[in-house]
Structure 1
Amino acid sequence: MLQAAGWKVNPKRIYRLWRREGLKVPRKQKKKRALGTGANACHRHRPERKNHVWCCDFIFDRTETGTTLKWLSIIDEYTRECLALKVDRHITSEDVINVLAELFRTHGVPEHFRSDNGSEFLSKAIRSWLKQIGVGTLYIEPGSPWENGYAESFHSRVRDEFMNCEVFENLRSARRQTEAWKQHYNEVRPHSSLGYLTPRQFSQQCISSSRTTSAFQRNTAVTQKFS
């Protein structure tokens, strides 16, 4: 990060200073777990290019007064870019469709959409809508969140780097704080698996696999009832 900011640094000197000050970052122990046998698991159906596979999931937290808040995240698995991070008190399948519709307009239509078996993703409305547009659905096995590994990894970052560091006064402040963190994640925070580029930088270097939006445009009427 120092190098990205234009500083010339000597890694060995940084290490010596870090050690002299007694600073440590506990090394996380990887948990051994089954990868799962589901055909739609992330280790079986891997993203190969931008807009090849998007994944979606929910994560929860509370305001300082105890009100439950629900976040919807949508990630491009290949670029790791957070395409959407919507927070509200309640999020329905209709809300998911509206968020996806806007993303399809701005980012193109992905080939596949991976999610768990939550009612918001299994509703007849969203399954029919995605089928009409031509987006393949990859539903993971029930009770196997690790099969949606990219979403799980992203949510661990959301929890550690955002939710555990912020106090949400109310929904309005949560939305403001969420948008600021999303921008930082996409445009400032380097990602080790991307060669220490930010997701936005890596995304800009990629050739998108998304098809033309004609299929989506032909079906925009499907979303109008949710607008």
Structure 2
Amino acid sequence: MPAINAKRVYRIMRQNALLLERKPAVPPSKRAHTGKVAVKAINQRWCSDGFEFRCDNGEKRRVTFALDCSDREALHWAVTTGGFDSETVQDVMLGAVERRFGNELPASPVEWLTDNGSCYRANETRQFARMLGLEPKNTAVRSPESNGIAESFVKTIKRDYISIMPKPDGLTAAKNLAEAFEHYNEWHPHSALGYRSPRNIYGSRPVMG
């Protein structure tokens, strides 16, 4: 009998409103992350943020992503036509966990660093994060530099990829953006990594699990 992927089952049940009603969540911690974002070890702290861009035909696309704060790998991303919502964030969380841990969960909590956007502070987002072994942390209000790795990534992806890639329409843009993310992971040099790419710093890692 094949193994059951509990995370995928949960996602399907959530999308079809089959989950039992939860007790009210404990109010989020008021303690914000204000220190150094980068860490030495992978899977210790991940960060997430979003950005938008416009295609040549006027269509707007919004991107939500997750990065590892050690090797800067873009673990997962999602492109949508709507706003930045909790469900998209949860999908990105799940994709990031599957990228690094396969069908397993982290042995110890991975810090999940974000700004104070409503999609990140939503109770359902924080509950889902903890189910996946992530510990939500928010940056100080009106302090985007507290999530500087994500902010730097947005500047890089817009400057070095989106500004030059063909994007006549949304479908073409989404396809080319996926290729851009892969190129970034495999080849884009970082000064903080000794001018190596995210996947070159530790080698191309298989998922754990």
What TM bracket, shorter-length normalisation? Answer: 0.7 to 0.9
Alignment of 1:137-216 (within 5 A): 137-204=136-203
Q: How many Å separate the matches in 2 of 1:205 and 1:176?
A: 23
Q: Name the larger-Rg structure.
A: 1
Deviations 1:117-152 (A, max 9, x none): 111111111111222344211101222111100001
Shift of 1:67: 2.0
Match of 2:60 among 68, 90, 113: 68
Shift of 1:183: 1.3
What amino acid maps onto 1:99 in structure 2?
A: V
Give the equivalent residue in structure 2 for 1:8: none
Query: Greater CA deviation, 129-138 or 73-82?
Result: 129-138
Give the equivalent residue in structure 1 for 2:24: none
Give the equivalent residue in structure 1 for 2:69: 77
Q: How many Å separate the matches in 1 of 2:38 and 2:179?
A: 30
* Structure 1 segments of 4+ aligned residues over 4 angstroms from their partners: none
| Counterpart contact for 2:77–2:92, Cα < 8 Å | no
Shift of 1:39: 4.4
Percent identity over the alignment is: 26
| Counterpart contact for 1:116–1:140, Cα < 8 Å | yes
Match of 2:89 among 73, 88, 96: 96
| Counterpart contact for 2:78–2:88, Cα < 8 Å | no
Runs of 5+ unmatched residues, structure 1:
1-37, 214-227
| Counterpart contact for 1:88–1:171, Cα < 8 Å | no
Give the equivalent residue in structure 1 for 2:100: 107
SS at match of 1:168: coil
| Counterpart contact for 2:69–2:149, Cα < 8 Å | yes
Shift of 1:75: 0.6
| Counterpart contact for 2:51–2:62, Cα < 8 Å | yes
What amino acid maps onto 2:94 in structure 1?
A: A
Q: How many Å separate the matches in 2 of 1:157 and 1:77?
A: 15
What amino acid maps onto 1:87 in structure 2?
A: V
Relative contact order, higher structure (CA 8 A, sep 6+): 1
| Counterpart contact for 2:186–2:200, Cα < 8 Å | yes
- TM-aligned CA distance change 1:122 to 1:191, over 3 Å: same
Runs of 5+ unmatched residues, structure 2:
1-30
| Counterpart contact for 1:42–1:150, Cα < 8 Å | no
- TM-aligned CA distance change 1:159 to 1:106, over 3 Å: closer
Give the equivalent residue in structure 2 for 1:50: 42
Give the equivalent residue in structure 2 for 1:120: 119
Q: How many Å separate the matches in 2 of 1:143 and 1:121?
A: 15
Deviations 1:148-179 (A, max 9, x none): 00001111101211222234222211111101
TM-score normalised by the chain length of structure 1: 0.68
TM-score normalised by the chain length of structure 2: 0.74
